[in-house]
Amino acid sequence: MRKRKQIKKKILKTAIPITSALILLIILFLGYQKITGSSIKEKEFLETIETNTYATIDNYVIYGIHLRLEGKITLENQVENIKLVLSNGKTELEIPWILEQEENTYNFKTSKNNNEGINLEKLPEEDLYLLIKTETKEEEKTTTKYYSVENKSIYKNLEYYTLTKNHKNNKINIEWNTYENCPTLRFKIKETTLPENVYDITIDPGHDVTDPGKTVCFNGSNIIDPDWYGNCEFGSLYKESDMNLYVSQKIKEKLEEAGYKVTMTRNTEQDRVKVYDKMGSATMANDTKSKFSFAIHHNSSGINGGISYLKGLELYVANDINFDLANYFIEEIMASASTVTSSKTQHLSENGIYQRFFTEKEILEDDVQPSNKTTNNIWYYYIREVGGVSTGATNDGRYAPTYPKNEHQKSNNTAEPYLFELGYMDNVSDLNNIINNKENYATGFVRALQKYLEQE
Ligand SMILES: [Zn+2]
User: pLDDT digits over 34-73, tens only?
Assistant: 444 567 788 899 999 998 999 999 999 999 999 999 999 9
| CA 54 / ligand 1 centre spacing (Å) | 50
Distance 412 CA to ligand 1 centre (A): 28
Per-residue pLDDT at 11: 54
- Residue 401's pLDDT is 72
Domains of the chain: 43-192 (no CATH), 201-454 (3.40.630.40)
Å from CA of 134 to ligand 1 middle:
53
pLDDT of residue 371: 78
The ranges of the chain with pLDDT < 50 are 1, 31-36
Residue 17: per-residue pLDDT: 67
Q: Who surrounds ion ligand 1 at CB < 5 A?
A: 206, 213, 297
* d(C-alpha 293, C-alpha 314), whole Å: 16
Q: How far, rounded to the nearest angstrom, does the alpha carbon of residue 85 sit from its chain's CA centroid?
A: 22
Radius of gyration of the chain from its Cα atoms, rounded to whole angstroms: 28
pLDDT value of residue 22: 66
Q: How many whole angstroms from 422 Cα to the centroid of ligand 1?
A: 10
**Residue 258 Cα, ligand 1 centroid: separation in angstroms?**
27
- Span from the CA of 359 to the centroid of ligand 1 (angstroms): 21
Residue 296 to residue 248: CA distance in whole angstroms: 7
What's the CA-to-centroid distance between 207 and ligand 1, angstroms?
6
CA-to-CA dists, residue 286 to 57, 193, 200, 295, angstroms: 24, 18, 11, 14
Crossing angle of helices 324-337/428-454, nearest 10°? 130
Q: Compute the distance from residue 296 Cα to the ligand 1 centre, in Å.
A: 8
299 Cα: distance to centroid of ligand 1 (angstroms): 6
Distance CA 341, CA 331 (A): 9
pLDDT of 392: 94
Interval between CA 435 and ligand 1 midpoint (Å)? 16
List all residues 6 or more positions away from 25 whose beta carbon is below 8 Å from its beta carbon.
Answer: none
Q: Give residue 32's pLDDT.
A: 45
Alpha carbon of 409 to ligand 1 centroid (Å): 23
214: CA distance to ligand 1 center in Å? 7
Tell me how far the alpha carbon of residue 304 lies from the centroid of ligand 1, in angstroms.
Answer: 15
Q: How far is the CA of 271 from the centre of ligand 1 (A)?
A: 16
pLDDT for res 407? 92
